[in-house]
Structure 1
Amino acid sequence: MTMEKLRTLRKQKGYTQQQIADLLATDVSNYSRKESGDVRIFDDEWEKLAKALEVSVEDIKEEKTSQIQHNDNPTLNDNSSINYNQYCSIPEYILESQQEYINLLKEQIETLKAENAKYKKR
């Protein structure tokens, strides 16, 4: 999905992608991916964009919808021909929390492996 509203309004206001990238404190290639919908635009960035373009966030923000393609052919026994594309918006703090939990579990696994190795030597 492209962010047509954002792109159109940016051009109408006479801004280049470089100028908007500078506003968001990012490089132009990253902003270009944001504008094309390949990279997520965060809420604080939407607010900066809306202010610069003199519109409300709701006027320019386009939500990505889940895009899932199913092959409902019941004769297929494997999933090789099914293409799943799903886009989710998960808050950063949740991802960070999950990553911390994963790291904790990895540490526990290593501890258990070492403990297991001790018992095998006995």
Structure 2
Amino acid sequence: MMIQEKLRKARKDKGISQESMAKLLFMDTSNYSRKERGEVKIHKDEWTKISEILEVPIDEIKENNQSTIHNENFSFHDHSGNNVNYYNVPDVMMKNTQDYIELLKNQNQKLQEEIQQLKYENQKLKSQK
């Protein structure tokens, strides 16, 4: 059984809703829901609190190596620390980000040209004095 299934089953067996669990963990329901689905990492202190709330040992609801999130089409790897996380970045987000980067490059180029023009005009004024 996968972590998500173990966690969801343990929560439901206790009769606790996602909303109640989120409140007990001091987070919003959508954030807890993403954690339960395995989309967002559950940190060590959160696992401890979850196991206390559900009154089950951590090992019963958590696999030993919960460091990797696998998605079908990953676009970016985070190899920081000992964990390897795979993130699914939707194509539309990648396209928007690439478009924004292109826009910033164009604006940067225009500003550099404007700076050069201002430097030229400043030099011209200095030489006229």
Interval containing the TM-score (normalised by the shorter chain): 0.5 to 0.7
- Computing the radius of gyration from Cα coordinates, the structure with the larger value is 2
Distance in 1 separating the partners of 2:43 and 2:80:
10
TM-score by length of 1: 0.53
Cα root mean square deviation, aligned: 3.1
- Which has a greater percent of strand? 2
Alignment match, 1:59: 60
Provide structure 1 residue ranges, at least 5 long, that are not aligned to the other structure. Answer: 70-81, 92-122
Alignment match, 2:35: 34
Alignment match, 1:17: 18
* Percent of matched pairs sharing the same residue: 46
Does the CA contact (< 8 Å) of 2:25 and 2:49 recur in 1?
yes
Alignment match, 1:104: none
Once the two structures are superposed, residues 67-96 of structure 1 have per-residue CA deviations (whole angstroms, 9 ceiling, x without a partner) of 599xxxxxxxxxxxx9666565748xxxxx
TM-score by length of 2: 0.51
Provide structure 2 residue ranges, at least 5 long, that are not aligned to the other structure. Answer: 83-129
Distance in 2 separating the partners of 1:86 and 1:16:
33
Q: Which runs of 4+ in 1 moved over 2 A?
A: 64-69, 82-91
Does the CA contact (< 8 Å) of 1:66 and 1:86 recur in 2?
no
Distance in 1 separating the partners of 2:31 and 2:39:
9
Distance in 1 separating the partners of 2:54 and 2:80:
24
C-alpha displacement at 1:65, in angstroms? 3.8
Higher relative contact order (CA 8 A, sep 6+): 1
Alignment match, 1:6: 7
